[in-house]
Homo-oligomer: A and B are copies of this chain.
Amino acid sequence: MKEIKTSGRITILNDYLEKKGLKSTQQRYDIADAFFKTTAHVSLDELLRRVRRRNPDIGYATVYRTMRLLTESGLALARQFGDGQTRYENVPEDGHHDHIICLRCSKIYEFHNRKIEELQEDVAKKMGFEVIRHKLELYGYCRDCA
């Protein structure tokens, strides 16, 4: 039996809200729910569009503020790809992953390596940092394109 994916994450959000003395509202639920269903990197505009299919009265600012909450609670990742828009990445339940991208065919593969992450922690600690998250992207040529 597999639990419905979003339910666990909604719980994480609710716990976060409670811990901060914030409130669970229908809007926050609608936005989180819509966001958890995304797979790529959504902009605020795109997300607002989706949320409004369910709840047409929601405003841009509410989506903006909710995405900040989701980001703070670790459920979303704010990313900049240089096109002037912040995009939000849905952090999957089974943890994050890194990317390896082929410079010729543009295919993106995912990987995860615990040892690398340990070393990252070491480096950070040495510099007095507490790491919250990281981004690692390898660019090169895949087997087919080498």
Closest Cβ of chain B to A45, distance in Å, is 17
Which of A26-34, A53-61, A110-118 has 4 or more CB atoms under 8 Å from chain B? A110-118
Number of copies: 2
Which of A6-14, A35-43, A127-135 has 4 or more CB atoms under 8 Å from chain B? A127-135
Known: A80-B82, A82-B78. A131 touches B139 (CB 8 A): yes
Contact A134 B137 (CB under 8 A): yes
Contact A129 B116 (CB under 8 A): no
Chain A interface, number of residues (Cβ within 8 angstroms): 36
Kindly supply a per-residue 1/0 record for chain A positions 77-98, scoring 1 wherever the CB is within 8 Å of any chain B CB and 0 otherwise.
0111110001000000000000
In the assembled complex, which residues on chain B have CB atoms less than 8 Å from the CB atom of A138?
120, 123-124, 129, 131, 133-134
Besides A80-B82, A111-B123, A134-B136, 7 other CB < 8 A contacts? Answer: A113-B119, A115-B119, A129-B142, A131-B140, A134-B139, A135-B135, A136-B137
Top-3 shortest CB links A-B:
A128-B143, A80-B80, A131-B140
